[in-house]
Amino acid sequence: MVRRSVFRSGGVVRRSVLRSGVACALGAAALALTGCSVAGAGGGAGSGPHGVALRVAIVSNPQMQDVEMLIKYFEREHPNIKVNFVTLPENQSRATVTDAVSTHSNEFDVVMISNYETPMWARYGWITNLQPYIARTKGYDENDFIPSIRKSLSYRGAMYSVPFYGESSFLAYRKDLFAKAGLHMPAHPTWPQVAAFAKKLDDKKKGVAGICLRGDSGWGENLAPLDTVINTFGGRWFNMRWQPQLTSPSVERAVRFYVHLVRNYGEPGPGEAGFSECATNYEQGNAAMWYDATSAAGTLEAKGSPVAGKNGYAPAPVLKTKHSGWLYTWSLAIPKTSPAKRAAWQFISWATSKAYIKLVGRKLGWSNLPPGSRLSTYRIPQYLKAAKAFAKPTLTAIESADPQHPTVKPVPYTGVQFLDIPEFQDLGTRVSQQITAAIAGGESVKSALQASQQYAQDVGKEHRS
């Protein structure tokens, strides 16, 4: 059994647009945000003693570390293909891959992207339509992909990337602490109920926070959970005329609720706490609840985890909507410029196949399977036994996520914890920094949202025109 390291999720670092000139600007902006460099990345696929040498850009998370450990099985079956991984933290990976793909270089033959990039990049013509490859691959079974995940990676009915794993969000809670306090978690909790639980369970003297919530800045950090709260409180980023709504009563009420909850009953130093910090706090028994990514459950229940077997998992809390969980997937795509598309697809189809998922189980442990991609994963007896506590809640959360209708009122964008517009990387980052300042006490929620509204004005003007 492989013990997992703590990692980040939902669009941020884990431990262990336009065409032409605008596209280049987007890549440069991403690089500026992360301070990373692509120097020395080298060229794309080439020939060598193995025939084809693929360059595969991946995110440095535990599931992809598994691929690196198991790649020998692929190369044994494909002796003419050598896979060279370029493994980077997520923020750096995003910037490097965005720059490479948007400038039409041939640095990579396979790139790991998400359901944020896939539809946009397909529309720009940056990545390869995988549907013809899927159709020619016997037994690949695209209909086995979880429908919401498959749809999020499609453009005009065709898949342009295929999922390696997927996730939504849910509420993890300590069943033993709830029982001791005489509390009962509802089947479908509301945020006011969660706040009441957090207040009662918060015990500063014993070093136990009532709840862990991300406070660290980043469009994939604090905005991931906060956006789901804004949505279910009835807020939205823009109305149907692309007019910003970040100072609306619904948004302000949601943000005030979130900031108050994490400041009063959350982890120590919440303004500096992201996924990793919350994961560590919760796993070490220093929090009674944690609202975050479903993919974290495998770590919490892994052999050796101090909280294994002590957790319950409830749907993402709601207020005005029926569901509020996000939808996210790390997927594999082929840049249009790759000279080795056939070999690239052979690797991708292997790494996202039913056979690969079972290989992980046999070699690395059944609780380590990449979750949230294929329906058949949730029919594997060994996995259902190992993931008894979280398998069903994870699948239910992913299937319930509704990026097309994330909030109460209609919106001109798609996405739960992000907006499917190229400007969101910059806009979301700037807004998240304002939220962090409010959580840390550096400014009021009102002033943070007023500044955020100004940032959104320019984006709204572009879309209105």
3-state secondary structure of 115: coil
Determine how many CB atoms are found less than 10 A away from the CB of residue 443. 14
Tell me the mean pLDDT in the region 80-90.
92
Residue 8 has pLDDT above 60, yes or no: no
Write the pLDDT tens digit of every residue in 213-232.
999 998 889 999 999 999 99
Residue 41 has pLDDT above 60, yes or no: no
Give how far Cα 31 sits from Cα of 28, 127, 333, 404, Å. Answer: 5, 20, 21, 30
Write the pLDDT tens digit of every residue in 167-199.
999 999 999 999 999 999 999 999 999 999 999
Tell me the mean pLDDT in the region 99-112.
95
What is the average pLDDT score of the chain? 89
Contacts of 351 (CB under 8 A, 6+ apart): 67, 74, 164, 332
Task: State residue 37's pLDDT score.
Answer: 31
Residue 23 has pLDDT above 50, yes or no: no
Write the pLDDT tens digit of every residue in 237-295.
999 999 999 999 999 999 999 999 999 999 999 999 998 899 999 999 999 999 999 99
Residue 113's φ and ψ, nearest 5 degrees, are -130, -175
Task: State residue 374's pLDDT score.
Answer: 98
Determine how many CB atoms are found less than 10 A away from the CB of residue 179. 10
Distance in angstroms (rounded) separating the CA atoms of residues 215 and 102: 31
Least confident of 62-66, 288-292, 385-389: 62-66
Instruction: Categorize the per-residue pLDDT at 26 as very low, low, confident or very high, splitting at 50, 70 and 90.
Output: very low
Determine how many CB atoms are found less than 10 A away from the CB of residue 271. 18
Residues of the chain above pLDDT 70, percent: 89
Distance in angstroms (rounded) separating the CA atoms of residues 251 and 408: 12
Distance in angstroms (rounded) separating the CA atoms of residues 137 and 128: 16
Tell me the mean pLDDT in the region 302-308.
91
Residue 148 has pLDDT above 70, yes or no: yes
Distance in angstroms (rounded) separating the CA atoms of residues 244 and 242: 6
Distance in angstroms (rounded) separating the CA atoms of residues 202 and 264: 9
Write the pLDDT tens digit of every residue in 451-460.
999 999 999 9
Task: State residue 51's pLDDT score.
Answer: 87
Instruction: Categorize the per-residue pLDDT at 47 as very low, low, confident or very high, splitting at 50, 70 and 90.
Output: low
- Catalogue all structural domains in the chain, each as residue range(s) with its CATH number: 20-167+328-388 (3.40.190.10), 169-325+403-464 (3.40.190.10)
The enclosing H or E element of 149 equals helix 147-152
Tell me the mean pLDDT in the region 3-16.
38
41 vs 373: which has the higher pLDDT: 373
Residue 302 has pLDDT above 90, yes or no: no
Residue 152 has pLDDT above 60, yes or no: yes
Task: State residue 28's pLDDT score.
Answer: 37
Least confident of 23-32, 117-126, 334-343, 360-369: 23-32
Residue 53 has pLDDT above 70, yes or no: yes
Write the pLDDT tens digit of every residue in 399-409.
999 999 999 99
Task: State residue 50's pLDDT score.
Answer: 56
The DSSP symbol for 368 reads G
Task: State residue 49's pLDDT score.
Answer: 54
Distance in angstroms (rounded) separating the CA atoms of residues 238 and 220: 19
